[in-house]
Amino acid sequence: MEAFDNFWAVYSNLVLTLGTNALLALSIYLTLSCGMLAMANAAFMGIGAYAAALLTMNYDAPFALALAGGMAAPALAAFAIGQPTLRLSGVYLAMATLAFGEVVRIAILNTESVTGGALGLNGIPPSTQWWQVALALALVLFGLWRLNRSRIGRAFEAIKEDDTAAGLMGIDVAGHKLLAFVLGAMIAGLAGALNAHLTFFIGPNEYGFDRGVEILTMAILGGINGLLGPVLGAVTLTLLPELLRSLNDFRLVVNGLILVLIVLFLPQGVWDPVRLRQWFKRQGGQA
């Protein structure tokens, strides 16, 4: 028990970060599963983090209410920008959502009286507990699993394969894309709210372009053919820098090399059910 206590004292933040990063990877998985390359998840995370932190710091709101506010604020923002931007596709949608992220960052920098500007918010109450992160991740995974098996999930898959054909089949393409965008924003906001009450400090630079690319990398690295893929990608991308810490200055080089090799040799991601089934069949045939 003492060994576990020592481990938790040193690595508790890392373990909880695994959970929040998994939520972020699932948030962009949701939009990718509907065929949208939207890069606003880092901005939605920042909106959720600031909304939740301001509720607890300025209004002494209960933690549950702060989490709800952290989910509602990015959902409203996603609904507002989703109407015009989701008419775009591919790289144009990515550019539009990246521009939205930059607008959010500049807005935070120029509202110093509310958000602290470039200095950020410090002294956020440390309310996040391990069971809250675990419960949030479990509920999101269960909700997305049920969603994938529902009519909405099948509509997402049809839109991803061919949105024109899906529209001709009677599917409300614009409505389903907006739903995926808003739900992804809510999950990203939840991750931001939990993370803000874990790290005690948030700043605008934490939710910029680099974080957006990191979130996308986690999902692509793990694979978007199932719910376990983004979670596995988030765990891999979070643990790699820690596992390679002994390499000192070469850590980032080796980290990048490993990611490049995974992308080259596992183009469908680490979690690829089709590849795994084929491997098990070959093993069964050899036996």
Rounded Cα distance, 191 and 49, in Å: 8
CATH 1.10.3470 at 2-286, yes or no = yes
Per-residue pLDDT, 279: 59
Burial class (CB in 10 A: 0-12, 13-18, 19+), 82: buried
Q: Which of 10-14, 170-174, 277-281 has the lowest mean pLDDT?
A: 277-281
Per-residue pLDDT, 26: 95
- Find tokens 């924003």 and name the residue: 185
Average pLDDT of 113-142?
92
Q: Measure the CA angle with vertex 199, ends 105 and 111; round to 5°.
A: 30
Q: Do residues 189 and 51 touch, judged by C-beta distance below 8 A? A: yes
Given a cut of 80, is residue 9 above it in pLDDT?
Answer: no
Given a cut of 90, is residue 133 above it in pLDDT?
Answer: yes
Average pLDDT of 44-65?
95
**Beta strands per DSSP E along the chain:** 121-122, 201-202
Tokens of 99: 């521009």
Contacts of 144 (CB under 8 A, 6+ apart): 26, 29, 30, 227
Q: Each residue of 16-45: b (16+ CB within 10 Å) or e?
A: bbbbbbbbbbbbbbbbbbbbbbbbbbbbbb
Per-domain residue ranges for the chain?
2-286
Average pLDDT of 78-85?
92
Q: Each residue of 236-250: b (16+ CB within 10 Å) or e?
A: bbbebeeebeeeeee
Average pLDDT of 160-180?
91
Q: What backbone phi and psi angles, to 5 degrees, belong to 271?
A: -95, 100
What SS3 class is residue 202? strand
Average pLDDT taken over every residue of the chain? 87
- Sorting pLDDT into bands at 50, 70 and 90, what band is 200? confident
pLDDT tens digits, one per residue of 232-280: 889 988 888 777 777 666 666 776 777 777 777 776 777 666 666 665 6
pLDDT tens digits, one per residue of 202-235: 999 889 888 888 898 888 888 888 888 899 889 9
Per-residue pLDDT, 248: 66
Q: Give the global pTM.
A: 0.90
Tell me the C-alpha to C-alpha distance, in Å, between residue 191 and each of 16, 41, 245. 11, 10, 26
Per-residue pLDDT, 262: 73
Rounded Cα distance, 121 and 156, in Å: 38
Which of 131, 130, 112, 128 shows the shortest CA–CA distance to 120? 112
